[in-house]
Amino acid sequence: MSGTLYLNEKYANPHTKQVAAKAIRIWVRVADAFDIDLAARALEGRWLNEAELKALRYLVFRPIEEIELMSHAAVKNIASATKESDKEPKDRKGAVEPNTARKGSVGIANYLTWFHVKVIEPRMPLFSNVSEVLRREVRACSSELKKPMSGTKSMHPHLIRSVPRERYLQIYRTVYLHYADLFRTARGRLARNCIRDRAMTLLGSEGIRPGAIGNIALKDFEWVGKREHGHIQIKDNTSKRSKKLSTSTPVQKGAASSQNYNSEITVKIWPATAEAIQEYIDTERLAVTTRGLRNRSKGFLFLAEHGGPIEDRGTITGVFRRAGKGLAAMGLLYKDAGDPYLQGEAYDFNAYLLRHSAASFFYDEKVMEKPADVVMNLMEQRFGWVKGSAMPSLYGLRAISDAASITVEDYMESLFAEAKVVKSTKGESDEHSQAGGRAGGC
């Protein structure tokens, strides 16, 4: 019962609710095996012991179906396994990905903290020393479950995950000018949706979250042309979808959530990004919406090959994966020698790497004309971060270390000039021109 109350109170997004529900199922399995009665323990100032924590941190690496088939004895034996006989949980056959395991462990910690605050604490004796002892036990348990796990990609809130300014602009330039070299099929052929994929990647470079990209409606995009900036309205368009939302449906952050996300915003986008979106609308999008007897787009901007809305996050992830593969082949993801923040030899390319890099560039440009604290507030609005988020100062720090001094106007001017040269030198025989001349673009 408490698990259902917790899920309904804390989560509206079906994907995050499913992840949290799985974490609770793991907890219930351990609680049953060890016969854990938190209410009784609370009166003694106790919470979880070392053996129970060890079982939890092991089981989050196992598939939930396997966990629920285990006997009580098998669950308890996890805690008594010796170092010699026990491999690392992540190295055992059938183990889930470390990042998935960490989500489970953090999910259990969050649920137990909620259970203490909502269920246990109000029933504890007033002015009791036991209550303070219990609080310390709960905090210690939560810290243990939230410890980083071997093999996970660090999600530490104070770890900068972006590229330096010059590399960011190189990536944007390459996507805009040379997208035909980036978006290729497994056989090396030009991808059918390459113009769409370019526009989506450029929007990612503007800092738009991947879920929001798949949720933009056609009418949310405005551009007057003539190398002017465009505008994208980021809002909840899930009601336009005819299919029921699933965990894989791309949605705007905070859609249908009771939490206060600052994610319904209007974003000013660069002229090159707006031009790329319009090119997609006039070519590939037009082709798929007029192919059949009816328009199946539901009014969404970016469409799947069948002409309907993109229904799966995997489609968007695949766009950025292909872009990353192409950029890596061009040598644009190797470590910048002057980057003090990258841990490793290459950048892990994804939509959030672009989003965070865009945030640093935004700070860099705006701080030349406004006080830093004002720019931080603007960043919260521009990137849809909640009030008081640490993200503006984090990526402002990157901008300061890069010591940048270029404006968007200067960069756009040089980019359009280069695009003109590229088009004139390639000629009609160029593969891009041939593809662009056909209905449906690439």
Asked whether residue 247 falls in the same domain as residue 308, the answer is yes
Residue 436 inside a domain? The answer is no
Q: Is residue 94 part of a domain?
A: yes
Domain that holds residue 229: 165-348
CATH assignment at residue 337: 1.10.443
CB neighbours (10 Å) of residue 281? 19
| Selection from 364, 386, 355 nearest residue 162 by Cα | 355
**What pTM was computed for the model?**
0.65
Assess whether 138 and 176 both reside in one domain. Answer: no
Whether residue 441 is contained in a domain is answered as no
On whether both 172 and 124 belong to a single domain, the answer is no
Q: Torsion angle of alpha carbons 80, 81, 83, 84, nearest 10°?
A: 140
In a domain, 430, yes or no: no
Specify if 8 maps to a domain: yes
Which of 321, 348, 375 delimits the end of a domain? 348
Q: Are residues 368 and 337 in the same domain?
A: no
| Helical axes 129-145 vs 98-115, angle rounded to 10° | 170
Of 101, 116, 146, the residue that ends a domain is 146
Burial of 427 (0-12, 13-18, 19+ CB in 10 A): exposed
Residues 197 and 55 in one domain: no
Residue 153 resides in a domain = no
The C-alpha atoms of residue 203 and residue 301 are separated, in whole angstroms, by 12
**Per the domain annotation, does 91 fall within a domain?**
yes
d(C-alpha 355, C-alpha 377), whole Å:
17
Same domain, 28 and 141: yes
110 contacts 65 by C-beta, under 8 angstroms: no
Q: Same domain, yes or no, for 35 and 142?
A: yes
How many structural domains compose the chain? 3
pLDDT per residue, tens digit, the chain (442 aa), is 688 899 988 887 777 888 899 999 999 999 999 999 999 999 988 999 988 999 999 999 999 999 999 999 999 888 666 444 456 777 788 888 888 888 899 999 999 999 999 999 999 887 778 888 899 899 989 888 987 765 545 444 446 788 998 999 999 999 999 999 999 888 888 999 999 999 999 999 999 999 999 999 999 999 999 889 999 999 988 888 877 777 678 877 755 554 555 567 899 999 999 999 999 999 999 999 998 778 889 999 999 999 999 988 889 999 999 999 999 999 999 988 878 877 778 898 999 999 999 999 998 888 888 888 899 899 998 998 888 888 888 888 777 767 555 678 888 988 999 998 888 876 654 554 455 554 455 5
197 and 273 assigned to the same domain: yes
- Domain termination residue (choose one: 348, 378, 393): 348
Regarding whether 326 and 391 lie in a shared domain, the answer is no
Q: Are residues 139 and 169 in the same domain?
A: no
Let me know whether 326 and 213 are in one domain: yes
